């Protein structure tokens, strides 16, 4: 099996290295990932600047890992499919991200966007993220679970363009309780900014790390992660609100 | 009516200025928009660097327009709602973008992401984009159509969090044929890169402007725009593939 591995934390991130080690048990792995951290890059792509690439090797300087791209996660997937890979991959894996990508974070996530980009090209793509508590990550165990879930998804031969979002709960709080297939939570988050003034009198803001979902819907990715379940959410990229189409079609429209 | 106006082309973009002029006919308009072009920013947000803001005035130096933010379109909406606006807006408008945001471009679009961010906060939000031919834009006429569609949407008092994607066709090819409510096209695009080598021997790639949809589904935003219709697509931000949930729930899952 040919696996394309990418992420948004950058090609040197420990989560990617841990997941790569596990994925090597399943087949050949080629990494095409951002040269630098691209957290919360969403589905941004690079139009205005060139995408520089560099070959990356293991510490032995001879084992080829893949390419570092000075661009966004979605750029990496495009470049891999159109230019860098000699043969198309059988599956695209994105991660393992340091921090979960659940709820509306799915839309901010560069990890998920890279998987969506793969699905644009009708590849099966799986995003894998690991939740944390106090910035402690057991990437090794998280990657083992990630690989097991990936294997079980692929065992069902999902049709081309299938897209999955896998989140692994905090592993330091006790044993995981199993795997749940659940929808993305869509309830609001609360957040705030830290307002400051620079020495020249100009106002600026820092995004606060307090980005929390006070009222998640039950039986969603967000709630199950809190309850120590691994979550699997099948995704799609049609943003049409089909439920409201018929009503809105009946509205009167005119232009002058 | 209090209108928050943002975009992804930047606060000095002609599309924003043209739409602001039209929206002033509907109420008070406060602009909170990126200081620089953020095309294809997707739903990226700024976590690692501070968001500097500057007040912006009309050429008379006394009429306040709003704030320029050194960040992403979605950052602008967050900052506006949480810090900058004295009162919550009645509607959030994003645009008018130079270039349509239809098909899978909806996911790359910073213009649409800004509207989605507004919907996260349960505001009604409308993205407006103008298609072009040979880089000629009639922003003045496009903004007039945009304002008319916005008025007709708001006349129906859509519930909080309602989200719309409005695209205006190329105006230089003849009169528009009307307004159609249609889903987002989800069929693949073809694209390519221009591979080059820099004077130091390093490979780099430019994204090619040939990003086209060879086989759009009929009766979608992409096809109707080609046929000179204004398109209105109600959007949502739940990426769950609900159609596949039941099947995937039945799969066997285990972890070791």
| pLDDT, tens digit, 9 for 90 and up, residues B176-194 | 999 999 999 999 999 999 9
Question: Which residues in chain A touch residue B205, judged by CB atoms under 8 angstroms apart?
Answer: 50-51, 53, 79, 83
Task: Indicate whether A135 pLDDT > 90.
Answer: no
Predicted confidence (pLDDT) at residue A219 exceeds the cutoff of 90: yes
Average pLDDT rounded to a whole number, residues A121-127: 98
Q: Is B208 on the interface with A (CB under 8 A)?
A: no
- Is residue A174 predicted with pLDDT exceeding 90? no
Across all residues in chain A, what is the average pLDDT?
Answer: 96
pLDDT tens per residue, range B122-155:
999 999 999 998 878 999 999 999 999 999 999 9
Q: In B, which residues are within 8 Å of A106 by CB distance?
A: 239
How far, rounded to the nearest angstrom, does the alpha carbon of residue B169 sit from its chain's CA centroid?
A: 15
Interface of B with A in 4-33 (CB under 8 A): none
Region B41-60: what's the mean pLDDT?
95
Q: Residues 119-138, chain B: which have Cβ within 8 Å of A?
A: 120-122
Parse chain B into domains and list their residue ranges: 2-185+218-249
Check the CA dihedral B18-B19-B23-B28 and report its sign: negative
Both tokens of B183, joined, read: 């889903």
Which residues of chain A neighbour B107 with C-beta distances below 8 Å?
43, 113, 116, 237, 239
CATH placement of domain A2-184+218-249: 3.40.1210.10
pLDDT at A131 over 90: yes
Query: B247 — phi, psi (to 5°)?
Result: -60, -45
Please provide the DSSP assignment of B140-162 as one string. Answer: HHHHHHHHHHHHHHHTT-PPTT-
Q: Please name the residues in contact with A54: beta carbons below 8 A apart, sequence gap of 6 or more.
A: A35, A67, A68, B202
Q: For residues B46 and B113, is the Cβ–Cβ distance under 8 A?
A: no
> What distance in Å separates the CA atoms of residue B94 and residue A30, rounded to the nearest whole number?
39
Whole-number pLDDT of residue B207: 94
Q: Is the pLDDT of residue A218 over 90?
A: yes
A175 in B contact zone (CB under 8 Å): no
Q: Record the tokens describing residue B244, joined without a space.
A: 């596949």
Contact B79 A46 (CB under 8 A): no
- The pLDDT of residue B173 is 85
Predicted confidence (pLDDT) per residue in B224-251, tens digit: 999 999 999 999 999 999 999 999 999 9
For range A33-53, the mean pLDDT: 96
The span from the CA of B104 to the CA of B139, in Å, is 24
Q: A102 vs chain B: nearest CA distance in angstroms?
A: 11
Burial of B152 (0-12, 13-18, 19+ CB in 10 A): middle
B2-185+218-249 belongs to which CATH class? alpha beta
Among chain B residues, CA nearest to A103: B238
CA distance A23 to B161: 41
H-type helices in chain A, by residue range?
14-23, 73-79, 105-108, 110-120, 139-154, 221-226, 242-249
Contact (Cβ atoms closer than 8 angstroms) between residue A219 and residue A182: yes
Cβ distance B207 to A145 less than 8 Å, yes or no, reads no
Question: What is the mean pLDDT of the segment spanning A123-143?
Answer: 94
Two tokens, residue B137? 């834009």
More confident residue, A60 or B115: B115
pLDDT at A134: 80
Contact B113 A107 (CB under 8 A): yes
Distance of CA B208 to the CA centre of its chain: 21
pLDDT at B245: 97
Q: Do B249 and A53 touch (CB under 8 A)?
A: no
Beta strands in chain A (DSSP E): 2-6, 28-34, 51-57, 64-69, 91-98, 125-130, 163-168, 179-181, 193-197, 203-207, 230-235
What does the pLDDT look like over B74-129, one tens digit per residue?
999 999 999 999 999 999 999 999 999 999 999 999 999 999 999 999 999 999 99
The mean pLDDT value for A179-188 works out to 97
**Is A253 near chain B, with CB under 8 Å?**
yes
Instruction: Tell me the C-alpha to C-alpha distance, in Å, between residue B254 and each of A20, A149, A152, A180, A183.
Output: 21, 8, 8, 10, 19
Rounded to the nearest 5°, which phi and psi values hold at B75?
-60, -40
């Amino acid at each position: 099996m040919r696996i394309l591995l990418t992420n948004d934390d950058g090609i040197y991130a420990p989560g990617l290295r841990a997941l790569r080690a596990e994925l090597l048990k399943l087949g050949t792995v080629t990494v095409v990932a951002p040269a630098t951290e691209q957290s919360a890059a969403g589905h941004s792509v690079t139009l205005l600047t060139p995408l520089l690439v560099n070959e990356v090797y293991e510490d032995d300087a001879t084992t080829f890992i893949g390419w570092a791209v000075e661009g966004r996660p979605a750029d990496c997937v495009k470049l891999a499919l159109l230019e860098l890979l000699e043969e198309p991959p059988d599956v695209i894996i994105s991660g393992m991200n340091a921090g979960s990508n659940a709820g509306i974070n799915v839309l901010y996530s560069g990890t998920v966007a890279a998987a969506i980009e793969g699905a644009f090209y009708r590849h099966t793509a799986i995003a894998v993220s690991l939740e944390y508590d106090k910035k402690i990550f057991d990437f090794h165990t998280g990657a083992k679970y990630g690989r097991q879930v990936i294997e079980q998804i692929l065992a069902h031969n999902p049709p081309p363009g299938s897209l999955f979002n896998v989140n692994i709960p905090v592993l330091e709080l006790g044993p995981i309780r199993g795997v749940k297939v659940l929808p993305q939570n869509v309830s609001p988050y609360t957040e705030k900014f830290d307002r400051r003034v620079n020495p020249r009198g100009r106002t600026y803001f820092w995004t606060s790390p307090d980005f929390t979902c006070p009222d998640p819907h039950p039986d969603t990715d967000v709630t199950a992660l809190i309850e120590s379940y691994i979550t699997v959410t099948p995704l799609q990229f049609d943003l049409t609100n089909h439920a409201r189409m018929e009503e809105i079609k009946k509205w009167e429209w005119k232009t002058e």
